[in-house]
Structure 1
Amino acid sequence: MEKEELKVCVTGGSGYIAASLIKKLLLQGYTVHATLRNLKDESKVGFLRRLPHAEARLVLFEADVYEPLAFQAPIHGCHFVFHVATAFQHHQPSQYKSLTEATVEAAKEIAKCCIKAKTVRRLIYTSSVLAASPLGDDGATSLKDFKDESCWTPLHHLPNFPYINDYLKNYVESKTESEREILRYNERKEDGGLLEVVSLACGLVGGDSVLNASVSGSAMVIISQLKDSEMEFHSMRFIEELLGKIPIVHVQDVCDAHIFCLQKPSFTGRFLVASSYVSSADIGNYYLQTYPELHVKHKYLEGPRRDIKWGSTKLTDEGFACKYDTKAILDDCVRCARRVGDL
């Protein structure tokens, strides 16, 4: 089929990754069904409707992870579905006991909607490398010497983990459990056929934002040393303790990886996505050398120096290559923060 005949659905359309992905898909000629939690929020709806080619090829739908049946309408008639939407806080009151339960049930329902639609070829799920810790079963004392797709975060260690808080604990649990659940659909036969499922476990995502008014939460973590923001820096250190180092990736490479997975004739499985695997001290020292006028504090220049290797090559073996290196990611985060007045 020609691109203009292909319909794709993107959930969580006003988010940092999803908005950039929608823009790329429209520019490449696809028709996009995008979901948002609230179609009355003009700040988000208006931005998406102003994207290039949106008037002709973008259709907006209202749907929420906490009301997963609402995804039936936007998925109907689509050929590919990108499940990017992420809930960050548990909604109360709710039919679900926790954020993790809501996230997992939404993933299951979206997969079922894809099967029921009978047109969907592939479901591509945006996960996080926080679901892929190289910890052994006995916890932080046994970090493996490499990190790849075989790694899964042992959730029973999270409650006592360094720098943990309720927000991080809930996020890691929900992303890990929902990724495991959605990948099971590669083995399930329902309604007489298999659904192809891909999960992209992305590193800490940085770079400039197409959402012109703000810096994304993940980019705020990346520039936390420049802002001397203790809360965001503790999130960075949590990632470093959980994963050995900090996998980072540019938002444009993340979007290109999603489209790469769409364009493969047949594709399934789990893939880690990051272009750099660095320490918090590496990031702090880069800022010190490159942006001396921002006065990075000495406490950010030291930290663990672990000899853990990034062992994931599955996506590159398929022919995908990231275009943005560490310098480009960090510089674009700074550029975005300065543009919107956060630095």
Structure 2
Amino acid sequence: MEKNVKVCVTGGAGYLASFLIKQLLERGYIVHATLRSLGDASKVGLLKSLAHAETRLKLFEADIYSPDDFESAIKGCEIVVHMATPFQHSANANSQYKDTVEAAVGGVKVIMESCLRSNTVKRVIYTGSVVAASPLKDDGSGYKDSMDETCWTPLNLSYDFFHGYVPSKTLAEKEILSYNGKGLQVVSLACGVVGGDTIQSKMPETMAFLISQATNDEFMYKALRFLEDLLGKVPIAHVEDITEAHIFSMENEHVSGRFLCAGAFLKTAEIASLSRKLQQDISIPTEFIEDTKRETRWDSRKLEDLGFHYKCDAEKIINDSILCAKMLGNII
């Protein structure tokens, strides 16, 4: 289908971004993708190898620590999908930002102003994270009964893992939503832990968290348990559903505001149980199975109420992730 609609995707070589770009090119979109460095042969090669890349993909060099760089990529586009985000602070002598929080929030401000100046951008889709949607009570004394779009992670508490990432994603999401209705339509998709498949040559970190019990990866399992303690349980999603949610948000004008995006909401003990059920050769040590007995409820249906349908249930998400890990050599 020849859509001839120009879409800018920031952070183009990332796990979700590369998968999305592949789908957009196949559906006839023209894509402007940004990379931190056009000198990175592996990332440039990945994107240029995609079908229709020769005629429908243009690459731009842009770094979130120098957000003015994004303006040329945004120029002429109707839709911007903002996926680039700093996970660890990049110490740069020329940087105007002192940490990941300043970089994430500052980057959003500059990019949104570039969208407004463009006079062509109509919609901005922000790839958020469920780490910004914790149902923890503000005093840290326990959890709300359910997790939905009204939940925002309390920033007065300290977090052992992702201590910079949690506030950066929370504050950046709030910042980008503040532009909604002010000359732009903004959709924020707070995505769960994503797995299922990849077009990259190595296993993405989010998938490594998800199946850390199956791979017996102690560090990644601790990260998964942190997410469980932050969110009550672990929201998980298949990369195909996350990609479709982005495209659904791009193509439907009635979609606006904040949406949690996950196909299932499980305890880590349930993830372990499903892993062993689906792949009986998987062995999980007892120290990787801890049942919190927590019964926080997933109460987000906003995206589905607007017509979106998740195609992948928990079994498919976990099974496809383990099969992908085997293919990549992470499980032998």
Shorter-chain-normalised TM-score: which range? over 0.9
1:179 is matched with which residue? Answer: 173
Shift of 1:187: 4.9
CA distance in 1, matches of 2:264, 2:288: 19
Structure 2, gaps ≥5 residues long? none
2:214 to 223, 226, 235: 226
Which consecutive segments of 4 or more residues in structure 1 shift more than 4 A?
none
Show the counterpart of 1:195. 184
Q: Distance in 2 between matches of 1:21 and 1:260?
A: 12
Cα distance per residue 1:91-110 (max 9 Å; x no partner): 11332111100110111111
Partner of 1:146: 146
SS at match of 2:265: strand
Counterparts of 1:1-343 in structure 2 under 5 Å?
3-93=2-92, 94-139=95-140, 141-157=141-157, 159=158, 161=159, 164-165=160-161, 168-188=162-182, 194-211=183-200, 213-343=201-331
1:137-183 deviation line (CA, Å, top 9, x unaligned): 111x22011110000000111x2x4xx13xx1111111001000010
Which amino acid in structure 2 is aligned with residue 25 of structure 1?
L
Task: Give the deviation of 1:3 after TM superposition.
Answer: 4.9
SS of residue in 1 equivalent to 2:179: helix
Paired residue type of 1:87: P
The CA RMSD over aligned residues, in Å, is 1.2
How many Å apart are 1:268 and its aligned residue?
1.8
Letter in 2 for 1:107: V
3-state SS, counterpart of residue 125 of structure 2: strand
Q: CA deviation at 1:195?
A: 1.1
Deviates more, 1:226-235 or 1:244-253: 226-235
TM-score (norm 2): 0.96
CA distance in 1, matches of 2:25, 2:189: 21
Q: CA offset at residue 290 of structure 1? A: 2.8
Q: For residues 309 and 109 of structure 2, what CA distance do their matches in structure 1 show?
A: 30
Post-superposition offset of 1:53: 0.7
> SS at 1:205's partner residue?
strand
The residue that corresponds to 1:191 in the other structure is none
Q: Which residue identity does 2:164 align to in structure 1?
A: N
Q: Which moved more, 1:91-100 or 1:271-280?
A: 91-100
- Relative to total residues, which structure has the larger helix share, 1 or 2? 1
**Distance (whole Å) between structure 2 residues aligned to residue 296 and residue 215 of structure 1:** 19
Shift of the alpha carbon at 1:293?
A: 2.3
Aligned residues: 329
